[in-house]
Homo-oligomer: A and B are copies of this chain.
Amino acid sequence: MRIAVDAMGGDYAPQEIVAGALLARAQLGVEIVLVGDAQAVARELRKLNAAQLVEIIDAPEQVRMDEEPTAVRRKRKSSIVITMDLVKQGKADAAVAAGNTGAAMAAALLQIGRLGGIDRPAIGALLPTLKLGKRVLLLDAGANTDCRARFLEQFALMGALYSRYALGVERPQVGLLNIGEERGKGNETVAEAYELIHKNPNIPFAGNCEGRDVMTGQFDVVVCDGFVGNILLKFAEGVGLVALQILKEELPRGFTGKIGTAVMQDNLRQVKQRMDYAAYGGGLLLGINGVCIIAHGSSKAEGILSAIRLAKEAVDNRVLERILQQSGSN
Chain A contacts to B: CB under 8 angstroms: 128-130, 132, 142, 145-146, 177-179, 186-188, 190, 210-216, 224-228, 230-243, 245-247, 249-254, 256-257, 259-261, 263-264, 266-268, 270-271, 274-275, 277
A257 contacts B246, C-beta separation under 8 Å: no
What is the oligomeric copy number?
2
A274 contacts B260, C-beta separation under 8 Å: no
B211 contacts A234, C-beta separation under 8 Å: yes
Chain B nearest CB from A303 CB (Å) reads 19
Alpha-carbon gap, A263 to B261, bound state (A): 10
Q: Which of B190, B224, B234 contacts A210 (CB 8 A)?
A: B234
Alpha-carbon gap, A280 to B177, bound state (A): 22
Q: A267-B253, A274-B246 are in contact. Are A215 and B231 (CB under 8 A)?
A: no
Mostly, the A contact residues are helix
Chain B nearest CB from A180 CB (Å) reads 9
Chain B nearest CB from A56 CB (Å) reads 35
Chain B nearest CB from A220 CB (Å) reads 16
A179 contacts B142, C-beta separation under 8 Å: yes
Chain B nearest CB from A302 CB (Å) reads 19
Q: Which residue of B lies closest to A249 (CB)?
A: B132
Contacts of A211 in B (CB 8 A): 230-238
Alpha-carbon gap, A129 to B254, bound state (A): 23
B260 contacts A247, C-beta separation under 8 Å: no
A271 contacts B256, C-beta separation under 8 Å: no
Contacts of A230 in B (CB 8 A): 179, 211
Contacts of A228 in B (CB 8 A): 227-228, 231
Alpha-carbon gap, A17 to B85, bound state (A): 66
Alpha-carbon gap, A251 to B274, bound state (A): 12
Q: Which residue of B lies closest to A270 (CB)?
A: B250
Contacts of A210 in B (CB 8 A): 231, 234
Alpha-carbon gap, A241 to B239, bound state (A): 11
A130 contacts B245, C-beta separation under 8 Å: yes
Contacts of A247 in B (CB 8 A): 247, 271
The 5 closest A-B pairs by CB, nearest first: A211-B234, A260-B264, A211-B235, A212-B234, A211-B231
Alpha-carbon gap, A128 to B212, bound state (A): 17
Alpha-carbon gap, A253 to B215, bound state (A): 23
A238 contacts B260, C-beta separation under 8 Å: no
B214 contacts A238, C-beta separation under 8 Å: yes
